[in-house]
């Protein structure tokens, strides 16, 4: 099983930053372990200050709910089963894309959270980190 160590987190951040540079959007990138402990955080030059907390909360949301934050968005819309979920956990639950759990053999071992662009851009950058994790 791959633990989310600092060495692993640095590789994920490198992959995410490479993708962020490719799309020319400065990002904040957070990597957490399975206990929602921040393992590493990286803020690219000129990334939005608000994205510092958002990236970390996306990673927190993904690891604590064992879901990507795009799915959280879907299930927390008015009329859906988890409507209001974004108002829980002292506001730490993020209900838009950019947080993705890290899994090994179906077990969530951590998460990555990315913020700085549109939700779609954040998902693309977070996905690059997940792909790097899956190739370890």
- Domain assignment present for 79: no
Give a yes or no: residue 91 inside a domain: no
Range of the domain at 46: 6-67+97-134
Q: For the chain, how many structural domains are there in total?
A: 1
| Residue 1 placed within a domain | no
Is 80 exceeded by the pLDDT of residue 71? yes
Q: Give a yes or no: residue 87 inside a domain.
A: no
Q: Which pLDDT tens digit goes with each residue over 12-52?
A: 999 999 999 999 999 999 999 999 999 999 999 999 999 99
Determine, yes or no, domain membership for 72.
no
Residue 124 belongs to some domain of the structure: yes
Report if residue 63 sits inside a domain. yes
Cα distances from 26 to residues 3, 22, 49, 89, in angstroms, run 27, 10, 11, 28
pLDDT in tens, 93-132: 999 999 999 999 999 999 999 999 999 999 999 999 999 9
Residue 1 scores a pLDDT above 70: no
Structure tokens at 50: 């608000």
**In this structure, are residues 73 and 124 in contact, taking their beta carbons and an 8 Å threshold?**
no
Query: In this structure, what CATH number is given to the domain that contains residue 17?
Result: 3.30.450.150
* Residue 2 pLDDT: 80
Is residue 15 domain-resident? yes
Burial profile 66-80: b = 16 or more Cβ within 10 angstroms, e = fewer: ebbbbbbbeebeeee
pTM, to two decimals: 0.97
Distances (CA, A) of 59 to 5, 56, 79: 15, 5, 25
């Amino acid at each position: 099983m791959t633990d989310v160590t600092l060495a692993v987190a640095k590789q994920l951040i490198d992959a995410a930053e490479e993708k962020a540079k490719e799309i020319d959007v400065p990002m904040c990138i957070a990597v957490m372990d399975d206990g929602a402990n921040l393992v590493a955080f990286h803020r690219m030059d000129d990334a939005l200050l608000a994205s510092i907390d958002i990236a970390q909360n996306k990673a927190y949301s993904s690891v604590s709910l064992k879901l990507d934050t795009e799915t959280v968005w879907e299930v927390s819309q008015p009329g859906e089963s988890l409507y209001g979920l974004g108002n829980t956990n002292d506001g730490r639950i993020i209900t838009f894309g950019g947080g993705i759990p890290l899994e090994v053999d179906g077990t969530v071992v951590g998460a990555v959270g990315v913020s700085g662009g549109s939700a779609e851009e954040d998902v693309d950058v977070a996905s690059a980190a997940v792909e790097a994790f899956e190739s370890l």
